[in-house]
A and B are shown apart, each in its own frame.
Chain A
Amino acid sequence: MDQSERREHAAQEAAEWMLRLQDQNTTRAQRAEYVRWLRESPLHVAEMLRITHVHSALAHFPYWNEIAPLDVSFPPVSTLELPRATNRRGADMSKPRRSAWFWPAGVTAVFVVVSLVLTYMAHLGPQTIRTGAGERREVTLVDGSVVRISPKTTLLVRFTEQERWVRLSRGDAVFRVAKDRVKPFLVETDHARVRAVGTQFGVEYQGNVVIVTVEEGRVAVTQPATGLAPLAQALPQIEVSLGADQQIVVPQAGPMGSIRKVDSRRELSWADGRLVFEQDPVAEVVQRFNRFNRVQIQIRDPKLAARPVSAVFDASDPEAFIAFLESVANVRVTRSSSDVIVITSEGPT
């Protein structure tokens, strides 16, 4: 056993002791056994302190209301072990998982059995994926579909025997959908519903509109009828079919825009953390940067805001864009706080 296996093993034992000692009626013999175990190794003491640390953190965890309860009313699901995240950039995600490889065989076997039982028996609820500011993530879902998720995005994933269902409640994501003719892949937002079978497309929130961009294959976009618009409900639901390099803007209310021909690679480059601009106004560039970063840029000069920009930036590096602005225009940069950068013109030029 190497150090990390020993540690895992000690942690399991410590957790077991933790539970046993919480029971009111431990016998003296059990407690003596526990003390003997502690005296066996400093590692045992250390892992006991860690498990206690976890216990304390859980006991004082303030966000339980954000943890979705297991939805037992939901019909059993055929797929799953849950959409297990594989994170390309931030490596922390998969660590607790990988540690399973180092558990003693018996424990791992139990874990595998539990997982299998889970897979076939359990009623599994939706899985929430949430990214913070500046956090990009790539997640492989159980069906093999890959989702690239932008910062500040919330996704709810629920796979059933009939469909693969994803709710995007805020932010942007690009979906590379694994082919499955039987189970359509549905992405729902507040005011657009996208159905795909096997394709790659992006869905993004931009203020009040949702933009759907298709890179390959075809998707169908509909506007779910809302209770707010009884008139709209009376009208037949319009389904728009989008093909490769096509884009549509779906507003919160009112009819969908018309289909636009776009360079989808460029339009979806945000998923790779790149922002590509071609003759786009500074205002749009700023808007994009602001969505990707905690630091917010404000442009106070309408002329500057309208100036076209052609460049490629790293989405997480607004400073590069500011340096770019400083090099091409006569601007004054004011950092009014650590989070806000105000850009004004340096007088008439």
Chain B
Amino acid sequence: MVKEKITSNQAIAIITAFLFGSSVIFGVSTEAKQDSWIALILAMFLSLPIIIMYARIIKLYPDMGLYDIVHQLFGKIIGNIIVVLMTWYAIHLCAMVLRNFSEYIKITTLFKTPEILIIIVLLLVSIYIVKSGMTIFGSWALIILPIIVLMVVFTIIFSLNIIDIKNFLPIMETKLKGMALATYKIISYPLTETVLFLPLAGFLKKKDSPYKIYITAIIFGCLIFFFVMFRNLTVLGSTLIMETYFPSFAATRIIELGNFFTRIEGAVTINFLFAGIAKITVCLIAASLGISKLLSITNYKKIVVPTGLLILALSTIIYTNIIEMMDFIEIYYIYAFPFEIIIPLIIWITAEIKHKQNKVTLKQKT
């Protein structure tokens, strides 16, 4: 049982900021080109059953994180296998986000700064947040979320003079197969990456509804993604978006009000910085909780630094260049499927069966 607790608003802010993570800068999948907004709406609705499944797992076992739940459901051996898999996913995702961030900074701003320094600085901030405690993280997320949203809104307002609504045309040109793939890619990255919030579920208050937390965060996140997509599509057009690594950066770069208000792309970098730190922190906590569960260590904060070092080492060797990074992002939706859908599905079905069995046993006793 975890002593630190966060409010439902803090949890919503954490999940929303986590969703923005790298997606604010990479944008969500533009596989469906000008119809990507339809894919986004479809993804939002189609991801809801999966999100409700995550919430149901928390609801069935309140006051417990995912790792405690799997240990209770499957015992020590199978439980530990699931913990290892989910911990690996958390470490890998964290390393990926860190590398995304360092590549972005290196390409757009700090050309000569060693990448490892950018990764270390970002990781140290996250380690400091984790060590400060979950409540501090929740409060921090509540503060940064309005800043991220305001930045997005401002960039849209400032780009009004250069947007071209014709970039949305022709509507419904994408074939069904392409639309389905684009929708699934958005579901997989980033909507169901929120599975990594499950290990942190023990920090939620018992009275707070996990359904409300998860669904609000997903809907709010998708709304902001819609605005980001609207800005990128109308400013750049689908062809140019497909050609660039960082569409949000490219879209805001050409914003110019008169001759004095320029270089607004810094706002996108600030967004990425905040949202990136939130995503890295969630992954770091999930990974630390997993390792502490495996080693039966009661306080996960004691192993945050070595876990961070593991992530740092992985992020430096994970890709040799940005092309490799983009290649992996292309197959990421297949790689993430077991972690985001299959494992939670197995946990949920087992949890429902055990919950019903417990109810029957209780009734028989009374």
Physical interaction between A and B: no
